[in-house]
Homo-oligomer: A and B are copies of this chain.
Amino acid sequence: MDIKALEKIALSVRALSIDAIQKANSGHPGLPLGTAELGVMLYGELLRHDPADPAWADRDRFILSAGHGSMLLYSLLHLAGYRDISLEDIKNFRQIGSSAAGHPEYGMAAGIEATSGPLGQGIAMAVGFAAAETMLAARFNTAAHKIVDHYTYVLAGDGCIMEGISAEASSFAGHHGLGKLIMYYDSNKITIDGSTDLAFTEDVAKRYEAYGWQALHGSMYDFEEIARLTAQAKAETGKPSIIILTSIIGKGAPNKQNTADAHGAPLGADEVAATRANLGIPGDFYIAPEAQVYFAAKQSEWKKSREDWQITFNAWSKEHPEKRAEWDQFHSGKAAQAAMPVFNTGDSIATRAAGNKALCAIAAANANLVGGSADLKGPNAVGLPADAGTWTRENRAGRYIYFGIREFAMAAICNGISLHGGFRTLCSTFMVFSDYLRPAMRMSALMRQPVIYVFTHDSIFVGEDGPTHQPIEHLAGLRIMPNLRVLRPADAEETVEAWTMAMEHTTGPVALALSRQNLNVFPKADPDWKHTIRTGAYIARQVEGKPDAVIIATGSEVGTALEAAALADKKISVVSMISKELFESQPAEIRETIVPPDTRVIVCEAGVRSGWERWAKPEDILSIDRFGESGPPAKVAEHLGMTVNALLLTISREKCTIKDVLEQKDL
């Protein structure tokens, strides 16, 4: 190691960071100043990567969990030669159009492995990356050719360590012995509020040892120590490692370092000048010549490393064409055709159970589908075919993942697996607990990762477990999230289509809302419904001539609507709307073939009304705008007015009895 050169690179990181933040008049200098040495070690010495080919499948991954310190990452990507972060981008830090956004945004520049900023999630995504590496290695490596063999590095700050998700993900990683996961903890003892002594005095090393990690300690400012500790982390192959590096936030800014002032605001012109004087930075956006020389020399070394891998990969491909074909399939992002189950009119089966049959068919055809549940494998009905096996220390090729009772980490780990490449992931819990993982689902949506969320027990028909377990506002809550496709099938046949639609959808996450209770498979009026449903809705019941009203229903309420329509003394057609927002995104000419204009629309859904007023008048919406009740499902439905009778009264506009029952949101 050329310590002198490394020092100059660290100086350049500091120079670029303070200037970019000052120019943007916005940003977080504390972390890039405080951790420049580690960053330099990573991008200069530790990472096995090649900036000329940022998509190299076997590269080491680095995730900046403390995403507010984005200028650390941008400076290093630029200095190391990643083309997507130009000096121009850095000069336009935090401006629209710059790949150097406020926080690292996946997709804005090759080299950014994950979007980060929401604290703690980077740790859990890194756990996902490390898990994916073991899965891929177990499937594809051979005795002669190790084509998958890389490390996952993550840099976490005090905030990441405090967030509960770090506990969930780290306990999971320790249990699973992810030996190639290395976390650096930037321990600077300062948060936005001031000293960590205000709120955070736990023994982090001991806590991580309790999770089954190796815990190491060192200084952020000793290149050789960082190298030695990282080697020690690599040597421990049975445990993940946390390397606690004592650091100084804002290091180099003479008046602000080691204070909360350095964290999240530009240093200001005076302090920038003082920092330059202190560190010997000669000018604007300074890049030391030694840094350029160093990284120029590195390129050929990195190229060689990648080419060596390519030789191995080619030899492996030649020797194992069937493995290579599978590898290509894994990395194609496309789902293979599956022999989907068939259901028939009159079958009575919960959509979660039908969903399991569909899932198993898809899993049989797609060996790269992995995932599981947060301790609800049976209730969520997400067991995979027996030969899929379980992912454990002993069986890294296993596909079912026992996430434990850790919903939030589960979703973020799935994001990490998905981002790593090679796999489709699913995760599941009761729909009411989608709230527990919502912040990670938002990241799936923002990063457009096609994680499949299986949410069962999707309404008050959960019954006895009561209001803590009955979703009310959750369907509406899922639908409002941009880039998230929500599918609520109405019977087993629709569930099969929903799973197919989910697998076809690769530009964002999908949430499947499935019933706990049995639902009857009903005959569909639209003979072409398997095609039409891809618009988000189709006509389930048709009447002769113009209907007096159209009922739009979703999921289990389609059955309610069909019953009510059959009993009503009016001509009522029924539309099953498997995806409200997908249907709403259709052009009017398509929408109007399904929901005719100038026709009274009635809506029936066992959830809040909000969002449905586009389609019907408030008095024509049968909804539930209060928390649920504990009782047998049918009794709860009666108590809350979500029954065939209630719908008949809505149709006939005899509101009195129902509206008495339907308490409005009480404010």
Contact = CB atoms under 8 A, between A and B. Distances in A.
Of A115, A163, A175, which is in contact with the most chain B CB atoms at under 10 Å from its CB?
A: A163
A203 to B, nearest CB: 4
A199 interface: yes
A379 interface: yes
Contacts of A468: 67, 103, 115-118, 443, 446
Contacts of A360: none
Nearest to A507: B666
B438 A467 contact: no
B375 A667 contact: no
Interface residues of A, number: 115
A464 interface: yes
A209 interface: yes
Contacts of A165: 164
Contacts of A433: 118, 439
Contacts of A210: 202-207, 210
A96 B631 contact: yes
Of A445, A468, A507, A666, which is in contact with the most chain B CB atoms at under 10 Å from its CB?
A: A468
Contact of A209 (B103, B206, B482): B206
A212 interface: yes
Interface string A11-51: 00000000000001011000000000000000000000000
Interface stretch (A307-315, A398-406, A552-560): A398-406
Given A198-B402, A404-B199, A482 B627 contact: yes
Nearest to A208: B210
A667 B582 contact: yes
A168 B174 contact: no
Contacts of A203: 209-212
A377 interface: yes
Contacts of A105: 466-467, 630
A171 interface: yes
26 contacts: A26-B465, A94-B631, A96-B636, A96-B639, A103-B468, A116-B468, A164-B409, A167-B167, A172-B199, A174-B201, A175-B199, A192-B375, A192-B378, A193-B376, A193-B377, A200-B404, A204-B210, A206-B209, A435-B439, A438-B438, A472-B482, A477-B480, A482-B665, A485-B667, A581-B667, A613-B614
